[in-house]
Amino acid sequence: KMRERLRKQEFEAEMAEIFRGAEAEINKVAREKEAAERQEEQKEARWEAEMNQIYVATEKEIQKIERAAVAERRAVQQAIEKARKAAEDAEAVQALMPISHKLREVEALDTLAELICLLETHALAVGTEEGSLGLALFPRTAAFNHSCAASCVVSFRPDPGIGCAASVRTIRHVAPGEELTICYIDPLAARPERQLALLEDFGFACACERCSPEGVCRPLEQGLVGLACPGPACDGSIGEWRPLEGFSSHTAGARLVCAACGELRGAISAAQQAVLGAADDAFEKGAQHYRDQRPAQALPLLRQSLELRRGVGGLHAAHLGTLEALDLAARAALATGAWAGATELLAELVAARRCLQPVVGYGPGVDSFDVAMLLVDLGRASLEVAGTSGRRDGAVAVAARQVACRALREAVAALELGLPDRPSLLQDVRGLRREAEAGLETEVGGGKASPGGIVEGAGCLYPAAEGEAV
């Protein structure tokens, strides 16, 4: 038993020693693990600090590169602008090469100034239906004198050889020995504006038939800025009203005489001034909406302006303010797809412009390019009316196609007479006319219908001219 007890005590002592050794080993391993973890945390902290430094350095480098790129883009844009200006200067120099031999002989600045003035005076503003092309000098065309009721018009076309070519055509019968003239400015302007433009741009005062004392007294000439004469069946005008300016000094408060009927009319009332002022305000707001590309908001204001200007004691039918409002209202109606209203406005505008064409020199049956393009718009709008009303009201559709056929036929005739050297434009309008005629034949069942005819009660907005067979 003693030996057994001793062996047991020795075993327990050995186990205790083993446990103490194991515990010491475990504590050592734990301490080593804690040291390793601390080293790993310190390593991660150092890595994060290094990465932050790298990120900051990278961000700074990116900002530096971006600033360099912006500076480079600015430098490139400046270089492009300089190159563009240099190209424009080179083109200008190239355009003046035909007179370079004269410039070589020029030593005095006054001679150079004289050549520049000659170019400024005789160069023509070149434009087509696509827009403005710039200035061009045509020596023979520049030899034509000016008249506000010119017998000729100048048209331009692109030319692959010389860039642009000019054509001069008569617009009325010209008697043998009569001088051929062109108009240097917008002929649809009142005499004071025409005289000022000619004096400022060309250095002379016009004394043509329109600017003479007899021409100034013509009813339509006065109607460009005048009020309608209140007399029955009188197409004359009294006074002067200029949009956004009001009455001229000799109109306000004066008792006026109509140049057409010779009757003494009463003074312009305050009510008339208020109505016309409200019309001008409505027009200005509508025009601003249209310029801001809001035709839907512009159209009612422009129509209101028209109604006020055409009311009792309103503007003359030929007044430039009414024409301007008509033109802008028609464009707004086209832009909004108000096709019926557009046809009404365009038909009225065509009639008004045709009424004034003899004033500016056009002969009977001759339409200007502007009127021709209005007729094209009228034809397109009428085709839209026919397309939208065909199923609901066949009579309206037929009448609208008749309007389109007649308008496009007259547009083609005007373009063939005035712009025969523009085949692409003529081809497009002829194609539109053929489309309208084919649609009309379909509407009436394939029968022969006069393109200028009128369907009774169909509300045609563009009737045949007086005396024309229907």
Cα–Cα distance for residue pair 433/431, rounded to 1 Å: 5
Distance of CA 197 to the CA centre of its chain: 23
- Over the range 349-361, which residues count as b (16 or more CB within 10 Å of their CB) and which as e? bbebbbebbebbb
pLDDT at residue number 108: 60
Which residues make Cβ contacts (< 8 Å) with residue 111, sequence separation at least 6?
Answer: none
Decide: pTM greater than 0.75. Answer: no
Answer whether 329's CB lies under 8 Å from 345's CB: yes
Q: What is the pLDDT of residue 104?
A: 58
Tell me, what's the pLDDT at 468? 33
Q: What is the mean pLDDT of each run of 10 residues along the chain (470 residues)?
A: 88 88 88 89 89 88 88 86 78 64 59 77 73 79 91 83 83 92 89 89 88 75 78 74 60 64 69 82 92 93 88 74 90 92 92 87 85 92 83 77 90 81 81 87 56 34 35
Q: What does the pLDDT read at residue 276?
A: 82
What is the reported pLDDT for 114? 77
Instruction: Give how far Cα 173 sits from Cα of 149, 154, 178, 179, 362, Å.
Output: 13, 16, 10, 12, 9
The predicted structure's pLDDT at residue 131: 63
